[in-house]
Amino acid sequence: MRLITAVIKPFKLDDVKAALEAFGVHGLTVSEASGFGRQAGHTEVYRGAEYQVDLVPKLRLEVVCDDDDADDLIEAIASAARTGKIGDGKVWSVPVEAVVRVRTGERGSAAL
């Protein structure tokens, strides 16, 4: 099994979710994140003092999947999240040793 983690632009969530569903993946976990990177942050001004905000809002997606699906899924997520502009994010995968569905205790592929 693999765990695919994707850091994407927030407004791309619906597209990525659709791509996953088209692929037959119906579960994922999303959390809020912020990124530093090439993408520039923004400037805010309060009573004449300018603040440079470098953290850029991102969403962080996690999908556990079968080893065989991993590469295709990474590809699917990356294309769905792509705008072509700096800051589109990263997708990476790590090996998973075990996965359990809490409700039933099922393990492995059956747990997804």
Partner 1 sequence: MPNSAAINAGDTAWVLVSAALVMLMIPGLALFYGGMVRVKSALNMLMMSVTCLAVVTVVWVLYGYSLAFGPDAGGVIGTLRDAGFSGIGTHAVTGSIPTLAFAAFQLMFAAITAALLSGSIADRAKFGSWIVFVIAWVTVVYFPVAHWVFDPSGWISAHLHVLDLAGGTVVEINSGASGLALALVLGRRLGFKRDPMRPHSIPLVVMGAGLLWFGWFGFNAGSALASGGLASVAFINTQVAGAAGVLGWLGVELRRDKHATTLGAVSGAVAGLVGITPACGSVNPLGALVIGLLAGVAAAYAVGLKFRLGYDDSLDVAGVHGVGGLVGTLLIGVLATAAVTGGARGLFYGGGFDQLGRQALAAVVVGAYAFAMSWLLAKGIDRWLGFRVSRDDELAGLDLIIHGETAYDIAGHTAGVGHRIGQSVSSSQAVPEQDAASAKIRP
Ligand X SMILES: Nc1ncnc2c1ncn2[C@@H]1O[C@H](COP(=O)(O)OP(=O)(O)O)[C@@H](O)[C@H]1O
Residues found near partner 1 in the complex (CB under 8 A): 10-11, 13-15, 17-18, 21, 30, 32, 34, 36, 42-55, 57-59
Under rule CB under 8 A, residue 93 binds a copy of itself:
yes
Which of ligand X, a copy of itself, partner 1, none binds 48 (CB below 5-8 Å, type-dependent)? partner 1
As a whole number of Å, the end-to-end CA separation of the chain is 10
CA 39 and chain centroid, separation: 17
Q: How far apart are CA 72 and CA 61, in angstroms?
A: 16
Question: For residue 42, which of 54, 58, 34, 50 has the smallest C-alpha distance?
Answer: 54
Under rule CB under 6 A, residue 39 binds ligand X:
yes
Under rule CB under 6 A, residue 27 binds ligand X:
yes
For ligand X, the closer CB: 48 or 84: 84
| Cβ 98 vs Cβ 107: under 8 Å | yes
CA 102 and chain centroid, separation: 22
User: Which residues sit at the interface with a copy of itself, rule CB under 8 A?
Assistant: 1-3, 5-8, 17, 26-38, 55, 58, 60, 62, 64, 70-71, 74-75, 78-79, 81-103, 105, 111-112
